[in-house]
Structure 1
Amino acid sequence: MLFKLTGSSGAGKTTLAFAAVDRLDGIVVHEFDEVGVPDPPIPPHWRNRMTELWVRRALEYQARGIDVLLSGNSPLGEVLAAPSAPLLDGIAVCLIDVADEARRDRLAARDSGRWDQDAIDAFCGWAAWHRGHARDPQFRPDVIIDGSWPEMAWHRWTAWTAEDPRWRTSLIDTTGQPLAKSIDHVERWVTEQREAYRSGRLALARGWTDETPLLAHHDA
């Protein structure tokens, strides 16, 4: 399976991913940007193509019986549209979020002087979009679709509604939470999604592109 921690910068995705994976068996952790990030301006399609790269790497691990926990900015819709996504045994996405004030404080502490006010505002705006996207596939899909890589298969989900059980992004809000508690939440999320897969309740198990979803799957 591919487990994806998504969200805007400053929420704690990578810290949580690397801490939680130490408590889990049969899973490896990677950070989306570890393959390198081009200097601004970021080339068009870069995140789309890198999402596909990570899906393919997850498939390599899958062939060896190993899951992947990946932290990065790609939201659910981008993962599902990656060309090779239907080949994964299962997909689970979790939004790691934090209140804007805490995000600003964390970015200032972590990257002192790196970001100006406009950049930090942009991170907060990206976080707000992530929240809307997690709730509803019809929330501003143009943000990720317009000008995207031609290979992306957006049609897989653009007709879905928020009630479709396959449109499932879990949420972990780290605002005011001790790090240890947030790590517990990530560990529990991975464990629950694995159980949903084993019991046949995971809505984004292989075949999600060609099945009519059952509402009973929604609790997965």
Structure 2
Amino acid sequence: MLLVLTGSSCSGKTTLARALGERVPGVTVHDHDEVGVPEDADTQWRNRTTEEWIRRALEYQDCGLDVLLTGQSPLGEILASPSAPRLDGIAVCLVHVADEERRRRLNRRDDGRWSAALLESFIGWSTWHRGHAEDPRYRPEVIINGSWPAMAWDRWSEWTKQDPRWTTHLLDTTEKPIAQSVDALEHWLTTQRTAHHAGQLPLAKGWVDIKS
């Protein structure tokens, strides 16, 4: 199955995934951007690269391995990717951090190179992620407008937040020790894999064929 850690920059996704990868057998860890990020990276580039990772996850799936992928693609993008229905299972966790803490982390990580306007764009993207995680009808145009033509948005465009398939776990890392957040992430991942093996995962293979 594909397990996704998503969220805006500096929420702690990569740090948590690397730590967790050393503790959980049968899971391979990758970062969306490890294939390289072009200078003109845009929404369509993110869409295409996400599809490439889903295809790689399918290869791992054939070998009996799950994939933990960090990146910024939210649930709606994952589900709309062309090859998503071929996955045995999908689960998404949104890694979140409070706005002021995100600003501090961005400035510390990138040596203060971001302008105030760019910092606020990271905050705005984080706010959108929270709304999207709760409700598929929360400003879907943010990811649909200008997207890769191969994306199948109609797979979930009629869903409401009551649909059990629309589920994103929220992990808030604000003022939390890394070890505590890793433990919480491990619990989430283990719970998702257990649900998958028990046939209880909301986004198990066949989800796309269920009528809302």
Cα distance between partner residues in 1 of 2:14 and 2:41: 21
Measure how far apart 1:15 and its partner are. 0.5
Instruction: For residues 22-69 of structure 1, give each alpha carbon's deviation from its aligned partner in whole angstroms, at most 9, with x where no partner exists.
Output: 110101000110000011x42451001001001001001001000000
1:12 matched residue in structure 2:
12
Q: In structure 2, do the counterparts of structure 1 residues 2 and 105 end up closer, same or farther at CA, with 3 Å as the change threshold?
A: same
Note if 1:23 corresponds to 2:23.
yes
Q: In 2, are the aligned partners of 1:21 and 1:187 still within 8 Å (CA)?
A: no
1:66 matched residue in structure 2:
65
2:41 matched residue in structure 1:
42
Cα distance between partner residues in 2 of 1:186 and 1:112: 28
Cα distance between partner residues in 1 of 2:211 and 2:196: 17
Q: In structure 2, do the counterparts of structure 1 residues 197 and 44 end up closer, same or farther at CA, with 3 Å as the change threshold?
A: closer
Matches within 5 A, 1:1-220: 1-39=1-39, 41-43=40-42, 45-212=44-211
Matched letter for residue 3 of structure 2 = F
Instruction: For residues 112-150 of structure 1, give each alpha carbon's deviation from its aligned partner in whole angstroms, at most 9, with x where no partner exists.
Output: 133111111100000000000000000000000011111
Moved over 2 A (4+): 41-44
Q: In 1, are the aligned partners of 2:43 and 2:143 still within 8 Å (CA)?
A: no
Matched letter for residue 74 of structure 2 = P
Report the secondary structure of 2:119's partner residue. Answer: helix
Cα distance between partner residues in 2 of 1:179 and 1:102: 14
Q: In structure 2, do the counterparts of structure 1 residues 44 and 103 end up closer, same or farther at CA, with 3 Å as the change threshold?
A: closer
Cα distance between partner residues in 2 of 1:8 and 1:108: 14
Cα distance between partner residues in 2 of 1:140 and 1:43: 18
Cα distance between partner residues in 2 of 1:114 and 1:56: 35
After TM superposition, the structure 1 stretch with the greater mean CA deviation from structure 2, 112-121 or 178-187, is: 112-121
Instruction: For residues 175-219 of structure 1, give each alpha carbon's deviation from its aligned partner in whole angstroms, at most 9, with x where no partner exists.
Output: 111110000011111100001111111010000000247xxxxxx
Instruction: For residues 1-32 of structure 1, give each alpha carbon's deviation from its aligned partner in whole angstroms, at most 9, with x where no partner exists.
Output: 00000000010001001111111010100011
Measure how far apart 1:90 and its partner are. 0.2
Q: In 1, are the aligned partners of 2:106 and 2:112 still within 8 Å (CA)?
A: no
CA RMSD of aligned residues (A): 1.0
Cα distance between partner residues in 2 of 1:23 and 1:81: 31
Q: In structure 2, do the counterparts of structure 1 residues 113 and 92 end up closer, same or farther at CA, with 3 Å as the change threshold?
A: same
Specify every segment of 5 or more residues in structure 1 that has no aligned partner in the other structure, as ranges.
Answer: 214-220
The sequence identity of aligned pairs, in percent, is 61
Cα distance between partner residues in 1 of 2:108 and 2:42: 28
Q: In 2, are the aligned partners of 1:30 and 1:68 still within 8 Å (CA)?
A: yes
Cα distance between partner residues in 1 of 2:182 and 2:109: 19
After TM superposition, the structure 1 stretch with the greater mean CA deviation from structure 2, 112-121 or 152-161, is: 112-121
Matched letter for residue 11 of structure 2 = A
Cα distance between partner residues in 1 of 2:43 and 2:176: 36
Cα distance between partner residues in 1 of 2:55 and 2:206: 17
Specify every segment of 5 or more residues in structure 2 that has no aligned partner in the other structure, as ranges.
Answer: none
Cα distance between partner residues in 2 of 1:173 and 1:53: 28
Measure how far apart 1:70 and its partner are. 0.4
Matched letter for residue 126 of structure 1 = W
Cα distance between partner residues in 2 of 1:130 and 1:67: 24
- TM-score, normalised to structure 2, is 0.98
